[in-house]
């Protein structure tokens, strides 16, 4: 049948995953770092995913598509409730055994507090800082996190799924009120983690400043997916 359905421009997609979280029907998945419409019959054509896309990669089109299957969507949602969202799904990670060592590696944390919600906007350590904005799971997933990412940086962390707030306002204030030299974002590959990247991107735009910006993505196995 001919009906309205979403269309995703993969060239514009930055892989943030916000649309996946916004699509309650499960019609969109992240595949090879890009959002893809995987089921026409799961898309209701209402476009809850459109307003959350930071790059305007999603639009409407009228084309031949399977009708929206509400029963199939409800069954899929029930299955997801049992399995959990990608960011909280239980799984055991297999690791090679590493011999015990008495060598202590010094922490590279340069300030306190570290939670985005708790840091004062005008804290003196932000002046002339190299700023690291990290998903709070990332330091546990990546063994060399302190040396690779935290060294010589001011580190602030958060989880959009748990805090359920818009970090962009706080981050905008930090960037506007301080001379930040660079911004590095470290996130996990799960879709909900795209919120921290989106907030940092939004804050950078709203600050009106031209600050060097870099994003690193980690798999749940602790593998650095890009650099």
How far, in Å, CA of 6 to CA of 203, rounded?
A: 28
Q: For 111, which DSSP code?
A: S
Are 203 and 172 in contact, with CB atoms under 8 Å apart?
A: yes
Per-residue pLDDT tens listing for the chain (227 residues): 899 999 999 999 988 888 887 888 889 988 877 889 999 999 998 888 988 888 899 999 999 999 998 888 888 777 665 455 555 555 555 656 666 667 778 899 999 999 999 999 999 999 999 999 999 999 999 999 999 999 999 999 999 888 878 899 999 999 999 999 999 999 998 877 888 988 999 999 999 999 999 999 998 888 898 65
Report H helices in 11-69. Answer: 18-22
């Amino acid at each position: 049948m001919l009906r309205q359905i979403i269309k995703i421009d993969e060239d514009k997609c930055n892989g943030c995953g916000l649309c996946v979280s916004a699509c309650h029907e499960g019609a969109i998945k992240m595949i090879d770092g890009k959002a893809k419409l995987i089921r026409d019959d799961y898309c209701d054509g209402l476009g809850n995913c459109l307003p959350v896309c930071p790059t305007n990669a999603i639009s409407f089109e009228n084309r031949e598509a399977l009708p929206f299957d509400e029963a199939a969507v409800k069954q899929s949602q029930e299955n997801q409730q049992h399995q959990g969202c990608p960011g909280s799904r239980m799984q055991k990670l297999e690791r090679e055994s590493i011999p015990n060592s008495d060598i202590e590696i010094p922490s590279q944390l340069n300030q306190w507090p570290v939670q985005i919600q708790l840091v004062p906007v005008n804290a003196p350590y932000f002046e002339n800082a190299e700023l690291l904005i990290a998903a709070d799971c990332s330091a546990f997933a990546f063994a060399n996190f302190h040396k690779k990412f935290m060294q010589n940086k001011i580190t602030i962390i958060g989880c959009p799924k748990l805090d359920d707030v818009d970090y962009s306002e706080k981050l905008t204030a930090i960037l506007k009120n301080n001379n930040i030299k660079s911004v590095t974002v470290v996130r996990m590959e799960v879709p909900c983690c795209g919120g921290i990247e989106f907030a940092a991107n939004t804050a950078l735009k709203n600050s009106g400043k031209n600050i060097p910006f870099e994003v690193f993505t980690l798999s749940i196995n602790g593998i650095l997916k890009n650099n």
